[in-house]
Amino acid sequence: MILPKNNRLTEVEVAELTVIVAEFGCRIQPIVGDVRTIYAIVGDERHELMISRLEGLAFVDRVDTIQSPHKLMDIKSDLARHRVKVGGVTLGDELLVMAGLCTIDPKNPNYFYETAHAVKEAGAHALRGGVWKPRTNPYAFQGDNRSLDILMEGSRRTGLPVDTEVMDEEQLRLALGAGVQILQIGARNALNYSLLRQVGKAIAGRETAVLLKRGMHLGTLSEFISAAEYIVNFGNPNVILCPRGTQPGLDGYRNHPDESITPLLKERTWAPVVVDPSHSVGKATYVPACALAAVAYGADGLCIEAHISPSHGLGDDPKQAITPKVLAELITRAKALHALRRSPKPSAPVS
């Protein structure tokens, strides 16, 4: 469907549209509204080249394809009124902060418990803690089922919901059975459609939320949003999009930080955006700047790796976890920036 810049098009302009769409086997059907006329494309309107040629016309505002690959996630979907809630926070109203370990150490559970209390004290609303880890090195620590008990014990002790990554059906079953409130789909599985479908089916009818990371490669936004559609189309719309940096990394950073896609996502989808600055930059000292940039770009929340003693951590923690002290300062600044972003803009000075 073509939305013109003005209320209706001239005959010459309609003829121009007609010539373009005819090349792709389509025709134009004007639909006359009270105020505005829109121009439906009758036929298969998904041809990318046709859409970009139409969008290139000066008199066209935008082209909405009816067969959007993510019609539920689309900003124009009826679901756009849905609000995702995590840890007492309604995303969009208040800045959500999730923080905790990259990887729970089953031999030293106190690192998780102490970090859990410390990040709560710092102002976090939810805990993160990796039970099962996707490791590049097959000989590196892969996680441990025992860490699931530690994760849930941390949730009980602090009263905060927990987020952990699941990579297969068995982990999904165990995590849901234990009561994990937020399931994380990691960057390596972000396009594992069979897992996405399993997660969608498993959480239907529950309050469980899903933190869906962006795939590691520099994929399109449509691909990212469509991955969320795989989950939501089973009936649970509590999905959160998580940019976490893409490959190739920016020289000096672990990945190419991509918090700047936040406003672009928000133009296309109603899903809340929670940015992961830790994996974006891969080094603790760069995390606060990336986190604040994310908030400035419009993020609804942050998912941050934090550890009471990073050098004693596993997985990514020695390199990229920030301490609860740094987290507390960051949360204060991030909340202030979030409030500033939401406050009415001052009117232009009268000269």
279 in contact with ligand PEP (CB under 6 A): yes
Q: Which residues pair with 209 in a beta bridge?
A: 182
Q: How far is the CB of 149 from ligand PEP (least distance, A)?
A: 19
In this structure, how many other beta carbons lie within 10 angstroms of the beta carbon of residue 340? 10
Q: How far is the CB of 234 from ligand PEP (least distance, A)?
A: 22
Binding letters toward ligand PEP, positions 139-168, x by CB under 6 A: --------------------------x---
316 in contact with Mn ion (CB under 5 A): yes
Binding letters toward ligand PEP, positions 304-323, x by CB under 6 A: ------------x-------
How many angstroms separate the CA atoms of 127 and 129, rounded? 7
120 in contact with ligand PEP (CB under 6 A): no
Binding segment for ligand PEP (CB under 6 A), chosen from 14-22, 60-68, 182-190, 260-268, is: 182-190
Pairing of strands 37-42, 60-63: unpaired
CA angle, residues 336, 308, 295, in degrees to nearest 5: 25
Binding letters toward ligand PEP, positions 75-104, x by CB under 6 A: ---------------------------x--
Binding segment for Mn ion (CB under 5 A), chosen from 17-25, 45-53, 232-240, 316-324, is: 316-324
Using alpha carbons, select from 273, 272, 224, 276 the residue that is nearest to residue 255.
276
Using alpha carbons, select from 226, 228, 241 the residue that is nearest to residue 67.
226
106 binds, among Mn ion, ligand PEP, none (CB under 5 to 8 A by kind): none
The residue sitting closest to ligand PEP, measured at its beta carbon, is 186
Of 130, 272, 282, 313, the residue at the interface with ligand PEP (CB under 6 A) is 130
Between 120 and 213, name the residue whose CB sits nearer to ligand PEP: 213
102 in contact with Mn ion (CB under 5 A): yes
How many angstroms separate the CA atoms of 285 and 10, rounded? 57
CA 222, 66, 272, 333 torsion-angle sign: positive
Strands (E), 94-226: 96-100, 126-128, 162-165, 182-185, 209-213
**Of residues 227-246, which lie at the interface with ligand PEP (CB under 6 A)?**
244
244 binds, among Mn ion, ligand PEP, none (CB under 5 to 8 A by kind): ligand PEP
Query: DSSP string of 301-323?
Result: EEEEEB-SSGGG--TTHHHHPBP
How many angstroms separate the CA atoms of 86 and 238, rounded? 9
Between 4 and 186, name the residue whose CB sits nearer to ligand PEP: 186
- What residues make contact with ligand PEP under the rule CB under 6 A? 102, 130, 134, 165, 186-188, 213, 244, 276, 279, 316
- What residues make contact with Mn ion under the rule CB under 5 A? 102, 316
